[in-house]
């Protein structure tokens, strides 16, 4: 029998029931989709990143982003910021929220975040990383984790130094994306930096970058020694990837891919959940991108996508899909 690589492990005092984790993604990892990914086998799901400063300002939109459901546990709440005092205050203010792990984003490459010294900009200053983690740990009873990249740019690949700073500050795990900030999401992820971080740290290391199926997940674990894998873009329109990767890591089996009718059924279920959660106007607007991802590889997908971007109600979406894919 092949070795089971999908066994439970712990992040701090939180038991994670498997080794396949759904990454935080702005505009993607909201409550409805987290529930679907958890249902399909994600062992840990992560919220969209939330501004620590916005929490201290008691922003209403921010409060909506922090809503969780008991069915998705364990769930990680991710904050971003660059001021230790504000990070600690934000952690204290959300202590009564229902989540299991507190993560600090140190990997976001988006310009407006980096320009404020947040996200991956923190990798320029490992000493500040240690202060940020220490401040967060002082403000919460939950395990604190961080998500970093290979480095800020080519020639300054300091993932090991930043990960060690996070561990020194009290982090319970570190996730490493094998690309620099300058790469954004282009090119290939460099997994060797994940291996170097794993070798240097005493806490769990989660590998991220170019995981698209079971074999690639197993390959990363074998090549880097990482404790778990984190899936991001490959999950868009594809919550089944967690079921598939979990099965492959467990016994090297590969469940059948869902038939097109099952994909359409999941798409519509996702749409209904989004509308129930956020109201039909916002829900359908946000569902347009998800729907486009779901129908990747379908007949006439490009043409149908051009119509999906114009739907404004759940009924319109249902009618469009029924017309274009009646077999579903």
Separation of alpha carbons 160 and 143, rounded Å: 20
| Residue pLDDT, tens place only, 215-237 | 999 999 999 999 999 999 999 99
Q: Are 284 and 311 in contact (CB under 8 A)?
A: yes
Looking at the structure, do residues 232 and 297 belong to the same domain, yes or no?
no
The enclosing domain of 199 has a CATH number of 3.20.20.70
Domain boundary among 251, 270, 299: 251
Provide the pLDDT for residue 313.
97
Domain end (from 224, 251, 278)? 251
Closest by CA to 147, choosing from 85, 77, 206, is: 206
User: What is the model's pLDDT at position 156?
Assistant: 83
User: What range does the domain containing 309 cover?
Assistant: 260-324
DSSP state letter for 49: P
Is residue 193 part of the annotated active site? The answer reads no
User: Residues 192, 62: one domain?
Assistant: yes
User: For the chain, what is the domain count?
Assistant: 2
pLDDT of 96 > 70? The answer is: yes
Residues 153 and 291 in one domain: no
Residue 4 lies in a domain: no
Is residue 203 domain-shared with residue 268, that is, in the same domain? no
Both 80 and 228 in one domain: the answer is yes
Following DSSP, what letter does each residue of 154-221 receive, concatenated?
TT---HHHHHHHHHHHT-SEEEEEEEETTTTT-S---THHHHHHHHH-SS-EEEESS--SHHHHHHHH
The dihedrals phi and psi of 256, each to the nearest 5 degrees, come to -60, 140
Instruction: Please pick, among 91, 108, 193, 275, the residue that the annotation labels catalytic.
Output: 108
Q: Is residue 20 part of a domain?
A: yes
Determine the pLDDT at residue 328.
Answer: 57
286 part of a folded domain = yes
CA angle, residues 264, 266, 272, in degrees to nearest 5: 105
Give the CATH number, domain containing residue 304: 1.10.1200
CA distance 42 to 38: 5
pLDDT at 107 over 90: yes
23 and 153 part of one domain: yes
Q: Do 140 and 206 have their domain in common?
A: yes
CB contact at 8 A, 98 and 47: no
Which pLDDT score is estimated for 153?
84
CA pair distance 180, 200, nearest whole angstrom: 19
Instruction: Summarize pLDDT for 119-153 with one digit per residue, the tens.
Output: 999 999 999 999 999 999 999 999 999 999 999 88
**In-domain check, residue 2:** no
């Amino acid at each position: 029998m092949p070795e089971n690589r999908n066994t439970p492990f712990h992040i701090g005092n939180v038991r994670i029931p498997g080794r396949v984790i759904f990454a935080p993604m702005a505009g993607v990892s909201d409550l409805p989709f987290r529930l679907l990914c958890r249902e399909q086998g994600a062992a840990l799901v992560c919220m969209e990143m939330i501004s620590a400063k916005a929490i201290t300002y008691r922003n209403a939109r921010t409060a909506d982003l922090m809503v969780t459901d008991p069915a998705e546990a364990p769930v990680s709440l991710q904050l971003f910021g660059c001021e230790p005092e504000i990070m600690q205050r934000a952690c204290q203010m959300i202590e009564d929220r229902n989540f299991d792990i507190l993560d600090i984003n140190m990997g976001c490459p988006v310009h407006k975040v980096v320009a404020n010294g947040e996200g991956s900009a923190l990798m320029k200053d490992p000493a500040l990383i240690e202060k940020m983690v220490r401040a967060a740990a002082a403000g919460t009873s939950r395990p604190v984790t961080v998500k970093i990249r290979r480095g800020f740019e080519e020639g300054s690949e300091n993932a090991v130094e930043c990960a060690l700073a996070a561990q020194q500050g009290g982090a319970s795990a570190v996730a490493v994306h094998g690309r620099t900030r300058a790469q954004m999401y282009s090119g290939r992820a460099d997994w060797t930096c994940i291996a170097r971080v794993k070798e240097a740290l005493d806490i769990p290391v989660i590998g991220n970058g170019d995981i698209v199926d079971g074999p690639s997940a197993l390959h990363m674990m074998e090549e880097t020694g990482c404790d778990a894998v984190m899936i991001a873009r490959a999950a868009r329109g594809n919550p089944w990837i967690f079921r598939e990767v979990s099965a492959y890591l467990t016994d090297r089996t590969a469940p059948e891919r869902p038939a097109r009718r099952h994909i359409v059924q999941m798409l519509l279920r996702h749409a209904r959940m989004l509308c129930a959660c956020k109201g039909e106007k916002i829900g359908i607007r946000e569902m347009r991108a998800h729907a486009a991802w779901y129908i990747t590889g379908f007949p006439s997908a490009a043409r149908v996508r051009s119509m999906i971007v114009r739907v404004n109600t759940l009924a319109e979406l249902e009618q469009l899909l029924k017309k274009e894919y009646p077999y579903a």
